Structure 1
Amino acid sequence: MEMTVGSQSTLPNGSVNNEIMPRLGYSILAVIIGFFSICGVILNVTVIAVTIKHRQLRQPLNFALVNLAVADLGCAMFGGLPTTVTNAMGYFSLGRVGCVLEGFAVAFFGIAGLCSVAIIAVERCIVVCRPVGSVTFQTKHAVMGVMVSWLWSFLWNTPPLFGWGRYELEGVKTSCAPDWYSRNPGNVSYIVCYFLLCFALPFSIIVFSYMRLLWTLRQVSKMKMSEVGNTARAETQVACMVLIMVMAFLLTWLPYAAFAISVILHPKLYIDPIIATVPMYLTKSSTVFNPIIYIFMNRQFREHAVSFLLCGRRVRSAESMLSEEETTVTTVSKSNSRVSPS
C-alpha cells in the first residue's frame, strides 16, 4: 500500500479528520506540543535575556550557545505554537500558503539549530585540542560559526520555495514539513541532498569532534601523572557531557532522520500517520532539551538563568537540584595548554 500522508490537501474549515485520529487524540497532541513549546519559549528567552543583561556571558565561546537558543526560540514560536493551535482545532487551518510558511520556518530554524549544535562541538574540540601556542578562539571565529549555521540552513531550505522540493502536510495533518513522500525525480534528488547535508553531515561532525575531544583528554590524563586526580575528574565530566549531548541528539533527531530515509528508500512503505508524527514531535522537543543540556548545565549560564527565572532571588536549594557537572571547556583547555604535545 503506497503511503500518501504528505500529499493530501487541508480539510475544509471546522472539519476534523477523524479517519486519522479521534478528536481526543488531537487534543492530547495539542497539550503535549503546547507544553514543549511554552517551555521552549521560556527557557530560550531566559538564555537570550541573561546574555544581554550580563556582559561576562557575551564571550566568543558562548556565541554558538546563544545562537542555538535563538534558533530554538524561532522553532518553538513559528512551529510549536501554530501546531498547538492546529491540533487543538483538529485540522490544519492555515491554508496552502500557511503550510509553506510554517514548513519553511520550522525547517529553517530547526536546521540552523542543528548546525549550531555541530558548531558547538567543533568549537569545543578546537579549544581543547588546539596545539600549545596556536591562535586562540576569537570573536571573528565565533561570528563566522554563527553565520555558517544560518547560511547553510537558508541555502537548503529555500529550494522548495522555488520548485526544487516542496513543503506538504505531515503525520496527522496538523503541521507541514519537506515532502518526503513524492516520487517526483526532482523532489527525490532534493530530499536525498537534504538528508545527507542537513542530517548526516552535522551528525558526523558532532561525533568526530567529541571523539577527538575525548581522545585528547585521555592523552592529557596519561601525561599529567602528577595531577591525575584533577585531570581524571575533568575527563569524567566532559565524557559525561559528551554522552548526554550525543544521546540527546540521537533521541531528538535520529528517529526523524530514520523515518525520512526509510520513506525515501522504500516508496511503497506504509507508516501509520500517528506513528509518523512521533519523530516529528521529538525534533520539536529539542527546543526544551537544548537549553537544559547546553546552557543550564553550564555554571555561568546556570547561576544567572536560575536567578532570572526566580525573579532575582538566589536560592541554594534550587541550585543544588541542578547538575554540578561543569560543561565549560575553559578549565580543561587550560589544563591541556600546560601539556606539551607528544
Structure 2
Amino acid sequence: MEPLVPPGRYSTSNGSVDTELVSRTVYTILAVIMGVMSVTGILLNVLVIVVTVKNRQLRQPLNYALVNLAICDLGCALFGGVPTTVTSAMGYFSLGRVGCVLEGFAVSFFGIASLCTIAVISVERYIVVCFPMGAVEFQTRHAVAGVVLSWVWSFVWNTPPLFGWGSYELEGIKLSCAPNWYSRDVGNMSYIILYFSLCFAVPFSIIMVSYSRLLWTLHQVTKLQVSEAGSTNRVGKQVARMVVVMVLAFLLTWLPYAAMALAVIMDSTLYIDPLIATIPVYLAKSSTVYNPIIYIFMNKKFRGCASTVLCGRNPWNTESQMPECETTVGSIIKSQRVSPKESLKD
C-alpha cells in the first residue's frame, strides 16, 4: 500500500519524505503525547468495563450509559489514538488512502457515539435531580434506548462518506483523518453542514441545556434549608462543582474542534496553521482519558469496586459512604414531602 503523502510534503522513489510540515522534534513530541493518552485511555476504559461486569451492584440504568461511554472511548483510543501515535512517530501518514478512510470513519463513528452518550448522561442527571419524586423516572429501558440511539445516530451520519456523499481527508499536520471540512464541493458541503448540525450542535445543545437546568435546580434546592445547618448548602456546592467540572471538560475537549470546523465551513478562504489546527484534534482525542476519570472514577462506589478488583480490598469501606449527587439532592426534596415544582419555588 502506498503511503498517503500530504500536500506540501514530497516522497522520493524509495518512499522517504524530503519535506516536513514541522520539525522532527515536533513529530516526536506529538507521538509521545498521543501515545501516553492512548495507553492511558485504553487502560482506564478497559478497567471501567471489567469492573462493571464483575460487580452486579454497578448495573444501574446510568451505568449502562457510562459503560457505553467507556466502549466509545476505548474505540477512539484503539482506532484513532494508536494509529496517530504510529504516524506521528513516522512523521507522515503511512496507512494509504484506504487506511485514511477507515481511520476517519472509525474515529468519527466512536467519537460521535461518545458525544451522544454524554448527552444521554446529561439528560439522565437532569431527570433524576429535577424530578426526584418520580414524576419522570429514568429506567433501564431508557438507558438502553439512549445507548442504541447513540450508535444508530453515529452510524447513520458517518457512513455517507463511504458511499460518496462527503469524504474523509487528512487534517492538521496530516497525521490523522477526519470528515473533510475544507472541500467546497456542493455534495460535500451539504453533508458537512448536516453533519455538524446534527452530530455536534444537537448533542452540544442537549448537554448545555440539561446541565444548565440541573445547576438552576441545585441553586433552588439550597434555599430550602431542610437539613442540618449548612449540610444542604454543602451538598449543593459539591454537586455543582462536579457538574461544572463535567461541563468544562466537555468544552475543553470538544468545543475547540467544533469551533475550528465551523470556522472552516463558514469561510473557505480561512487559513489555519497546520500545527495550530492539530491542537483541537489532540484535545478531542484526550476525551478518552478525561471521560472515565470525570464521569466514573469520581463516583466513590465505583472507586471502591475498582480497588477491590485491582487490590482485593476497598479503602473507602470504613468511611461513611457519600451518596451520589442525584440521590442526595433527591432525598433533600423528598424529606420535605413536597412536589418538585413546589420545592423549586422561590
TM above 0.5, one fold? yes
SS in 2 for 1:176: strand
2:260 alignment counterpart? 259
Asked if residue 331 in structure 1 is aligned to residue 332 in structure 2, the reply is no
Asked if residue 312 in structure 1 is aligned to residue 312 in structure 2, the reply is yes
2:144 alignment counterpart? 143
2:34 alignment counterpart? 33
2:9 and 2:17 in contact (8 A); partners too: no
1:6 and 1:168 in contact (8 A); partners too: no
Shift of 1:305: 2.0
1:158 alignment counterpart? 159
Indicate how the Cα distance of structure 1 residues 239 and 301 shifts in structure 2: closer, same or farther if over 3 A, else same: same
2:127 and 2:136 in contact (8 A); partners too: no
The structure whose RCO (Cα within 8 Å, separation 6+) is larger is 1
Shift of 1:7: 7.4
Q: Distance in 2 between matches of 1:14 and 1:312?
A: 52
Q: Deviations over 1:131-159 (max 9, x none)?
A: 63425321111101111111111111111
2:218 and 2:236 in contact (8 A); partners too: yes
2:16 alignment counterpart? 15
Indicate how the Cα distance of structure 1 residues 235 and 184 shifts in structure 2: closer, same or farther if over 3 A, else same: same
SS in 1 for 2:258: helix
Which is worse superposed, 222-231 or 188-197?
A: 222-231
Indicate how the Cα distance of structure 1 residues 156 and 247 shifts in structure 2: closer, same or farther if over 3 A, else same: same
1:92 and 1:173 in contact (8 A); partners too: yes
2:77 alignment counterpart? 76
1:196 alignment counterpart? 197
2:24 and 2:91 in contact (8 A); partners too: yes
2:8 and 2:21 in contact (8 A); partners too: no
Indicate how the Cα distance of structure 1 residues 8 and 336 shifts in structure 2: closer, same or farther if over 3 A, else same: farther
Which is worse superposed, 107-116 or 214-223?
A: 214-223
2:179 alignment counterpart? 178
Asked if residue 110 in structure 1 is aligned to residue 111 in structure 2, the reply is yes
Indicate how the Cα distance of structure 1 residues 326 and 36 shifts in structure 2: closer, same or farther if over 3 A, else same: farther
Q: Distance in 2 between matches of 1:16 and 1:10?
A: 6
Q: Distance in 1 between matches of 2:19 and 2:296?
A: 41
1:97 alignment counterpart? 98
Indicate how the Cα distance of structure 1 residues 46 and 218 shifts in structure 2: closer, same or farther if over 3 A, else same: same
**Over aligned residues, Cα RMSD in angstroms?**
2.4
1:40 and 1:76 in contact (8 A); partners too: yes
SS in 2 for 1:49: helix
1:172 and 1:273 in contact (8 A); partners too: yes
SS in 1 for 2:16: coil
Q: Distance in 2 between matches of 1:260 and 1:249?
A: 16
1:7 and 1:169 in contact (8 A); partners too: no
Q: Distance in 2 between matches of 1:118 and 1:42?
A: 24
2:10 and 2:17 in contact (8 A); partners too: no
Shift of 1:231: 2.0
Indicate how the Cα distance of structure 1 residues 312 and 16 shifts in structure 2: closer, same or farther if over 3 A, else same: farther
1:6 and 1:179 in contact (8 A); partners too: no
Q: Distance in 1 between matches of 2:332 and 2:151?
A: 33
Q: Distance in 1 between matches of 2:94 and 2:78?
A: 17
Shift of 1:279: 0.3
Q: Deviations over 1:261-286 (max 9, x none)?
A: 11111111111111111100100000
Q: In structure 1, what residue type is equivalent to 2:202?
A: L
SS in 1 for 2:169: strand
Q: Distance in 2 between matches of 1:6 and 1:251?
A: 28
SS in 2 for 1:169: strand
Q: Distance in 1 between matches of 2:189 and 2:108?
A: 17
Q: Deviations over 1:235-260 (max 9, x none)?
A: 11111011101110111011101111
Shift of 1:9: 9.7
1:112 and 1:149 in contact (8 A); partners too: yes
1:245 and 1:293 in contact (8 A); partners too: yes
SS in 1 for 2:222: helix
Shift of 1:160: 0.8
Q: In structure 1, what residue type is equivalent to 2:145?
A: M
2:304 and 2:315 in contact (8 A); partners too: no
Indicate how the Cα distance of structure 1 residues 11 and 111 shifts in structure 2: closer, same or farther if over 3 A, else same: farther
1:64 and 1:142 in contact (8 A); partners too: yes
- Stretches of structure 2 lacking an aligned partner (at least 5 in a row): none
